[in-house]
Each structure stands twice: as structure tokens, then as C-alpha cells.
Amino acid sequence: SPKPVRWDFVNDPYRRRVLDVTTALLQLRKSYDVFETTDYQINIGPGTGRTVRLNSPSMNVHVMANVALVTGSVTPNFQHTGTWYEYYTGTTLDVTNVNAPLDLGPGEYRLYTDQFVALPPNVNPTPVREIAGILSGLELYPNPAGNYFALDFSLDESARVVVETCDPTGRLIYRNETGELPSGPQHIEIPSGSWQQGVYFIRVRDDRGGQLTKRLVKY
């Protein structure tokens, strides 16, 4: 028989972010006619920058992404100069040169509109923030990583630590729970040779509720 829905997924900040991003995008598409326009341009190369332009008299939309495993520049070719609004973060961009390159991180994407659009209520698709605890000084290397990577951090007091890795969809692909670790500097090595190329989010949690997160690129 079918398994019940995993309602506890919404308590995982990474899975919750995937839900919020999808919810916000569907609400935007449903609410504005520009997403039914036949006037559009798609740029899929050359290079690792991708752009989509949707044009309409009421509102223009510009989507951009960096599909590389390293930080890269995207030449946006905005429809016009002036103020543009990034939908997911609410930040503004004052465009004076429509072709001025923008630096995007590995796998980063942005959705700009030339009219301000508010997010749906109770939706927060911004990246997961760090939570204060007894963890500090998290470093991840090498990054990009090959067959393994290492985590260095410090504990203010002894604690158990959980290391988790999620892919961009929020799917948990790795989990390791340590025994009781002493206070002070810590070093953990994680095997990653079997992981596919792409961007991953490494989360380190202590048993006091603290959480630190880093982005890893696997080549």
C-alpha cells in the first residue's frame, strides 16, 4: 500500500526551502499574464550563463543562472535600464548598462521583474541561515572537492555532532553522527567520490541546537 506523506519534511530547513521556492514560483506564474507571453528570448550558451527574458506591456521578467561548478559571470541583456527587483530576496538592482556582467555563484539563479512583486504569505525561500550554538569557525576544503573533503570547526564544549549533506532539491544523501566530541578544534573527513558532479549543502549540527552550513562543489 502507498506510504503516508512525510509531514516531518517541512521541519527540515533544506526541504522547507525547496517547498517555499516552488510555492513562490507557482504563485508568480499563476498571478501574472507575462508567463503566458509568446514574446520571449532564451539564451542557453555558449558558456555557462543562462538567461530567459519574458516580455509584456505590463511587466517584464528576466531569469538568469550560472550552471557552472564555480563562480561565473552572466551577461544579462536586461530589457531596459532602471530598477529591477529580485523576486526571491526582495533586493533591488539599479541597471545602468543592460549588458554589465553579474557574478553568480555555482548553481546560483535569480529572477528579476521590473515591477515589485511580493512573495506569498508565510513563504521564505531565502538561503538557510546559520543558527547560534556551540559550533564555530566551520571551514570546508578542498572546495571544489573530488574523492573527499574535510571539515574543521571548533566546539565551545563537548557535544555530539551530526554532519549531513543535501543536494539542491533538499534530498539527504549523506549523514554521519559522531560520538561525544571533546571541546576544542575538530577535524572530520568525508568521502565524496561516489557523489555526482554538482552543488551540495553541508550542514553541521550540534546537540544544543546549533547549526552551521557551507556550500560544496563536487567535480
79 lies in the same domain as 153: no
* pLDDT bracket for residue 7 (50, 70, 90): low
63 is a domain residue: yes
What predicted TM-score, i.e. pTM, was given to this entire model?
A: 0.62
163 is a domain residue: yes
122 is a domain residue: no
106 lies in the same domain as 63: yes
CATH number of the domain residue 92 falls in: 2.60.40.1180
154 lies in the same domain as 202: yes
Closest CA to 93 of 102, 101, 81, 84: 84
Q: Is pLDDT larger for residue 128 or for residue 29? A: 29
Pairing of strands 61-66, 172-177: unpaired
Domain count, the chain: 2
107 lies in the same domain as 164: no
Strand pairing partners for 203?
A: 164, 213
Expressed in angstroms, the distance from the first to the final Cα of the chain is 39
- Tens digits of per-residue pLDDT, 59-96? 999 999 998 877 889 999 999 999 999 888 777 889 99
87 lies in the same domain as 174: no
144 lies in the same domain as 102: no
Helix runs in 1-49, H state only:
13-31
194 lies in the same domain as 106: no
Closest CA to 29 of 5, 59, 50: 59
Is there a contact between 70 and 217 (Cβ–Cβ < 8 Å)?
Answer: yes
99 lies in the same domain as 167: no
Domain finish residue from 80, 113, 146: 113
Distance in angstroms (rounded) separating the CA atoms of residues 42 and 137: 42
89 lies in the same domain as 173: no
11 lies in the same domain as 98: yes
13 pLDDT above the threshold of 80: no
Give the CA distances from residue 30 to residues 3, 16, 19, 33, in Å, rounded to whole numbers and listed in that order. 30, 21, 16, 8
Instruction: Give 10: exposed, middle or buried? Use CB within 10 Å, 0-12, 13-18, 19+.
Output: exposed
Give the domain extent around 201.
135-218
23 is a domain residue: yes
177 is a domain residue: yes
Task: Please state whether the peptide bond connecting residue 127 to the residue before it is cis, i.e. omega within 30 degrees of 0.
Answer: no
CATH number of the domain residue 197 falls in: 2.60.40.1930
